[in-house]
Chains A and B, each alone.
Chain A
Amino acid sequence: MVGDGTVRLGIVRKRRTIASVAVVTVVLLAGGLAVTLTSGSGQATGVTHVDGNPSAVLYPAGHRAQVPDFSGTTLTGTKLNFAGYRGKVVVLNFWGSWCGPCRSEGPTLAALSAKYQGSGVSFLGVDVHDSPVNAAAFEQDAGIKYPSLNDPGYAVALTLGNTVPISGTPTTVVVDPTGHVAGAVFGPVTYSVLNSILTKVTA
């Protein structure tokens, strides 16, 4: 450790250590920055947007997730099992009478459910975080005739889990006759967007 050559070697090694530590740090920082900038931009493959609407998506056949089965009691007290809808296109709408956007899309859903009645399309509401009395009063006001599951604890959303990224109410999921997710609208639906999805899925 004392000879002149050893000292020189020490300096070289020291310089190399500094360089490697610096490089590792820079790489870590760059990596962290990259993760920061790109997180959340992940996109499922093959997804198309409906009429250029970023919150309405269609999943092509082969990229459709299977909806797990769930059951519950409707607002009117009837037992209901989702498996019973197999063979039909199902419009699954998550809503609450307390939720402004849900109230505004209510009449649209009522109109579309009437239009598609008898075309192999069933509408099913999932009323979340609500009081059945308030919910029934709203359904009557909005003219909604199709059934809704009483789901105060968001159990259906939990069961669906990763099949559809439900981040809030309202969310509308269109399920194909084989029980797979064919499309979804995140936020309130408009007549044209949901109509366009249903036209494509029933075609």
Chain B
Amino acid sequence: MTDIRAPQDAAEDESQLAFPEDGRNAVQASAAAATATADDGDGAGAGPAAGWGWFRWAWRQLTSMRTALVLLFLLALGSVPGSILPQQGQDPAAVQNYFNSHPALAPWLNHLGLFNTFAAPWFAAIYLLLFASLVGCVVPRTFRLAGQARMPPPRAPRNLGRLPHSESYAVALPPVQAVAAAAAILRGKRFRLRHPAADEAGGWVSAEKGYLREAGNLLFHLALLGVLVSVAIGGLFGYKADKLIVEGQTFSDTLTALDEFHPGRLVTGSDLAPFQLTLKQFSASYYTSGESRGQPSSFDARVSYSSSPGAPSRPYDIRINQPLNVDSVKVYLIGHGYAPEFTVTDAAGKVVYDEAPPFIPANTGTFLSDGVVKVPDAAPDQLGFIGVFVPTGVTAGGILDSAFPAPYNPAVSLLGYAGDLGLNSGLAQSVFQLDTSAMTKITSRPFLLQPGQSFTLPGGRGKITFTGYKQWASLAVTYDPGQVPALICGMLAIAGLLLSFLVRRRRVFVRAVPAAADGERSVVTVGGLARTDASGGFEDEFTELVAQLSSGEATPRSIIRAPRGAPDGKATTSGAQQPASHDSKTDPGA
């Protein structure tokens, strides 16, 4: 134990004191010093050797920040055609129209998959590469951060006076005990300590605090991975469906009852939550005066639902931003409109139609709405009507219009047809469109009806009665199992980011050297180093710490015991040890 290996301190490189960089491809500073050229992953110039080298080079390129940014930009760019051009999934009819109006261009766009952008292979390639790039960047960084969060502080540098902060004081204790006293105080202040190893020269202690910064950074990266995984879970196991439902109607959350169903990759119809929902009443209120006259002020869809067949039925009010939650399936209100109700009596005097077909708002400001009435079982011919519904009817210059979205003066205008609706051909038809190709017009011009009024059809074909109106609501049924995890991960990511921004990592080194030949008095030098001390504060902390260390020193009772593995006092304080070169600062009198 008398072997004092002072020269070993010479290995203490200044670079080891520096904190690891925060850059994306930062490597540990100590390793970087030795392998600076080979390991600079971001450098595009790093030439591959062969085989494994090529692969490593490609992987480096893929996971570099630059590539991720380019991919992110491409993803945004790639989504543009999806919002400009009509999409097959959302509106096949509009795609067909586009084909008709651009016969030369459309097939080319179709070859590029631009009518189904979000399912196109090139679009999938972009987001899969982006995902790979993010994972490939974040995972190794996570390991590195975990390593950093566990790393002990470096050895105390030889010359603490060169650090940004340093102070010295004299104490009436041998150096080893002086250092032990300082270590006890630092430990009490929750610093992580590093003592000299058994075979090292003693008389110093390193302390570091603020590892929460690395923990926060780690949390941020793990949470980022969590967000990616959550989004993937949502995409695989979630689904979205739409349903238009008229007041008084019921629908079941089963495949056949839904108007549209967009399942996730691993979802089938049998995975739907088996609830049933009845729209009791829908009401919307509108501002009746002022600048926003006619704008909606509130929507309220009063429903009753049961979570499974036979379960008790419960009431609920679905409003905007207040969805119904059934077994973590959410039912949102996404639209509304009017459904005028008609009865039709045919030539034989039989009531062959009694329904409230939903009309689609053509003007969302006034709710002037379009729709059709199909009477396939009228005798002698099928009947069809193209209609316009106005909630607040006004006639200006012989043209019917709506003055307000609320039903203050509801009216319908209808144009009648007779012939073949095309329904019996076996082809599915839109309930919002009338195919008049095999029909003849039976009314020369539209006729106007108010609630309760009837119109006798020409040629003894019977009559149609506008019995009243109902309202309909359009509901979105969504299930996204990744939503809550994504939210939690998002919050954790922000928390981690805050920690890594707010917590400073700072290092404090203490060295003691004998002040006199008898070794009973020492000069203690304290050095401090803070990382990213932009907000300041470390200087004050350091001054206060030095004050506590030097005053704590005055009461030898606070010394608990000498640190484990430290050389005993006599050996350390032997004259063989080469005192560190002192500058004027270390003079006790300074």
Contact = CB atoms under 8 A, between A and B. Distances in A.
B255 A7 contact: no
A35 B424 contact: no
A125 interface: no
Interface residues of B, number: 62
B538 interface: no
Given A18-B56, A22-B59, A162 B270 contact: yes
B56 A166 contact: no
Interface stretch (A52-60, A80-88, A126-134, A177-185): A126-134
Contacts of A100: 422-429
Contact of B31 (A1, A22, A161): A1
Interface stretch (A114-122, A150-158, A192-200): A150-158
A21 interface: yes
Contacts of A153: 249-252, 257, 276, 278
Given A25-B136, A99-B428, A2 B59 contact: no
Interface in B345-373: 350-355
A25 B377 CA distance: 60
B545 to A, nearest CB: 27
Interface in A155-189: 155, 157-159, 161-162, 165-169, 171, 188
Contacts of B278: 153
A35 B250 contact: no
Interface residues of A, number: 57
A43 interface: no
Contacts of B27: 14
A25 to B, nearest CB: 5
Nearest to A130: B355
Contacts of A97: 376-377
A21 B139 contact: yes
A105 B428 CA distance: 13
A51 interface: no
A40 B268 contact: yes
A11 B236 CA distance: 38
Interface in B405-447: 422-429, 431
Contact of B140 (A21, A94, A165): A21
Contact of A158 (B56, B140, B276, B354): B276
B59 A131 contact: no
A29 interface: yes
A17 interface: yes
Residue with the highest number of chain A CB atoms closer than 10 Å, among B28, B251, B276? B251
A100 B266 CA distance: 31
B23 interface: no
Contacts of B425: 100, 104
B136 A2 contact: no
A15 interface: yes
B295 interface: no
B269 A165 contact: yes
Contacts, number: 158
B145 to A, nearest CB: 13
A80 to B, nearest CB: 17
A162 B271 CA distance: 9
A166 B256 contact: yes
Contacts of B268: 40, 42, 165
B460 interface: no
Contacts of B257: 128-129, 153-154, 157-158
Given A104-B426, A128-B257, A153-B250, A35 B270 contact: no
A165 B270 contact: yes
B256 A18 contact: no
A161 B253 contact: no
B495 interface: no
B274 interface: yes
Interface in A3-47: 4, 7, 10-11, 14-15, 17-18, 21-22, 24-25, 28-29, 32, 35-36, 39-40, 42
A166 B377 contact: no
Q: Which of B265, B350, B378 lies at the interface centre, i.e. has the most chain A CB atoms within 10 A of its CB?
A: B265
Interface stretch (B32-40, B180-188, B482-490, B516-524): B32-40
A98 B253 CA distance: 20
Nearest to A163: B270
Contact of A159 (B253, B309, B378, B428): B309
A167 B255 contact: yes
Contact of B252 (A24, A98, A101, A154): A154
Interface string B308-322: 010000000000000
A6 B27 CA distance: 14
Nearest to A11: B35
A40 B266 CA distance: 8
Contacts of A132: 354
Given A18-B140, A39-B265, A134 B35 contact: no
B465 interface: no
Interface string B228-269: 000010001000000000000111111111000000011011
B254 A154 contact: yes
B128 interface: yes
Given A103-B376, A140-B377, A154 B132 contact: no
A103 B426 contact: yes
B2 to A, nearest CB: 25
Contacts of B38: 11
A94 B353 contact: no
Given A154-B251, A161-B270, A94 B256 contact: yes
Contacts of A18: 56, 59, 140
A175 B53 CA distance: 64
A137 interface: yes
B424 A29 contact: no
B353 to A, nearest CB: 6
B255 A165 contact: yes
A175 B39 CA distance: 70
Contacts of A94: 256
A104 B424 contact: yes
A132 B351 CA distance: 11
Interface of A: 1-2, 4, 7, 10-11, 14-15, 17-18, 21-22, 24-25, 28-29, 32, 35-36, 39-40, 42, 94, 97-101, 103-105, 128-129, 131-134, 137-138, 140-141, 152-155, 157-159, 161-162, 165-169, 171, 188
24 contacts: A7-B34, A10-B31, A11-B38, A15-B56, A17-B143, A18-B59, A21-B135, A24-B139, A32-B128, A100-B429, A101-B426, A101-B428, A105-B426, A128-B257, A131-B353, A152-B250, A153-B278, A154-B254, A157-B254, A157-B257, A161-B254, A166-B255, A167-B269, A171-B256
4 closest Cβ pairs, A-B complex: A153-B250, A104-B426, A137-B377, A158-B252
Given A100-B426, A134-B355, A153-B257, 15 more contacts: A10-B28, A11-B39, A14-B39, A98-B374, A99-B428, A103-B376, A104-B425, A137-B350, A137-B353, A138-B376, A152-B249, A153-B250, A157-B252, A166-B256, A168-B256
